[in-house]
Amino acid sequence: VDHDQPLFKLLDEVQHHVKNPTKGDGVVYWMRMQDMRINDNTALSLASEHAQKAGLPLLVLFILSPQDYVAHDRSARRVDFTLRNLKSMQESLSPLNIPLCTFLHTPRTTLPERVIALLSQWNATHLFANIEHEVDELRRDIKVCQLAKKGEKVQCAFVHDKCIIPPGVVKTKEGRAYTVFSPFFRAWLPHLEDKPDPLAYRPAPQANNESIRSHDTYGKLFSMPVPEVVEGFELAKDDAEQMRTCWAAGEDIAKEMLRRFLYTKSRSSQMGEVDPLAEGAKEAEKNPAKDSRIGKYNVARDKVNADTTSRLSPYLAAGVISARECIRATVVLYGNKNGKVDASRETGIGRWVQEVAWRDFYTHIVANFPRVSMGRPFLEKFADVKWETNEEHLQAWKDGRTGVPIVDAAMRQANTMGWMHNRVRMVTAMYLVKDLMIDWRLGEKYFMETLIDGDLASNNGGWQWSASTGVDPAPYFRIFNPYTQSQKADPTGEYIRHYVPELSQVRGDGP
Catalytic positions: 355, 358, 387, 422, 440, 463
Residue whose CB is nearest to ligand FAD in the complex, by number: 462
Q: Please, what is the minimum distance in Å from the beta carbon of residue 455 to ligand FAD?
A: 4
Which residues, 6 or more positions from 34, have their beta carbon under 8 angstroms from its beta carbon? 130, 132, 162, 317, 318, 319
283-342: contacts with ligand FAD (CB under 6 A): 301, 309-313, 316-317
CB burial readout 202-214, b (16+ within 10 A) else e: ebeebeeeeebbe
> Which SS3 state, helix, strand or coil, does residue 59 take?
strand
**Which of these, 254, 371, 387, 375, lies nearest to 323 by C-alpha position?**
254
Q: Is 81 in the site for ligand FAD (CB under 6 A)?
A: no
The closest of 177, 239, 204, 172 to 97, measured between CA atoms, is 204
Does residue 62 bind ligand FAD (CB under 6 A)? Answer: no
Judged by DSSP in three states, 290 sits in helix
Residues 396-400: contacts with CB under 8 Å, at least 24 apart: 397/428, 397/431, 397/432, 397/436, 397/438, 397/443, 398/446, 400/499, 400/500
Among 185, 334, 431, 463, binds ligand FAD (CB under 6 A): 463
Q: Which is nearer to ligand FAD, 140 or 311 (CB)?
A: 311
Instruction: Compare residues 124 and 304 and give the one whose CB is closer to ligand FAD.
Output: 304
Interaction of residue 270 with ligand FAD, rule CB under 6 A: no
Question: Considering only residues 41, 97, 402, 458, which one is a binding residue for ligand FAD as defined by CB under 6 A?
Answer: 458
The answer to the question of residue 462 lying near ligand FAD (CB under 6 A) is yes
Using CB under 6 A as the binding rule, whether residue 451 contacts ligand FAD is answered as yes
Rounded CA separation 352/278 (Å): 23
Taking the C-alpha atoms of residue 304 and residue 15, their distance in angstroms, rounded to an integer, is 46
Express the helix, strand and coil content of the chain in percent, nearest 5 each.
50, 5, 40
Total number of residues binding ligand FAD (CB under 6 A)? 29
Which of 459, 468, 469, 485: binder of ligand FAD (CB under 6 A)? Answer: 459
Measure the CA–CA gap between 450 and 233, rounded to whole angstroms: 12
In three-state form (DSSP H/G/I as H, E/B as E, the rest C), the secondary structure along 175-225 is CCECCCHHHHHHHHHHHHHHCCCHHHCCCCCCCCHHHHHCCCCCHHHHHCC
Q: According to CB under 6 A, which one of 69, 128, 201, 358 is a site residue for ligand FAD?
A: 358
Which lies closer to ligand FAD via its Cβ, residue 42 or residue 298? 298
| CA-wise closest residue to 267 among 250, 282, 249, 246 | 282
The C-alpha atoms of residue 439 and residue 377 are separated, in whole angstroms, by 11
Buried (b) or exposed (e) across 326-352, using 16+ Cβ within 10 A?
bbbbbbebbbeeeeebebeeebbbbbb
Residue with Cβ nearer ligand FAD (91 or 355): 355
Q: Which of 405, 454, 473, 482 binds ligand FAD (CB under 6 A)?
A: 454
Residue 440 Cβ vs ligand FAD, minimum distance, rounded to whole Å: 9
Residue nearer to ligand FAD on the CB measure, 118 or 457? 457
The least CB distance from residue 373 to ligand FAD, in Å, is 13
Question: Does 228 help bind ligand FAD (rule: CB under 6 A)?
Answer: no
CA 92 to chain centroid, in Å, comes to 21
Maximum CA extent, the chain: 74
Q: Which of 81, 201, 247, 362 binds ligand FAD (CB under 6 A)?
A: 362
Binding characters for ligand FAD, 408-447, by CB under 6 A (x = yes): -------------xx--xx--x-----------------x
Output 51 or 407, the one with its CB closest to ligand FAD: 407
Identity of the residue, 128 or 178, whose beta carbon is nearer to ligand FAD in the bound complex:
178
- Decide if residue 356 touches ligand FAD (CB under 6 A): yes
Q: According to CB under 6 A, which one of 35, 141, 325, 455 is a site residue for ligand FAD?
A: 455
Residues in contact with ligand FAD by CB under 6 A are 301, 309-313, 316-317, 355-356, 358-359, 362, 421-422, 425-426, 429, 447, 451, 453-455, 458-459, 461-463, 466
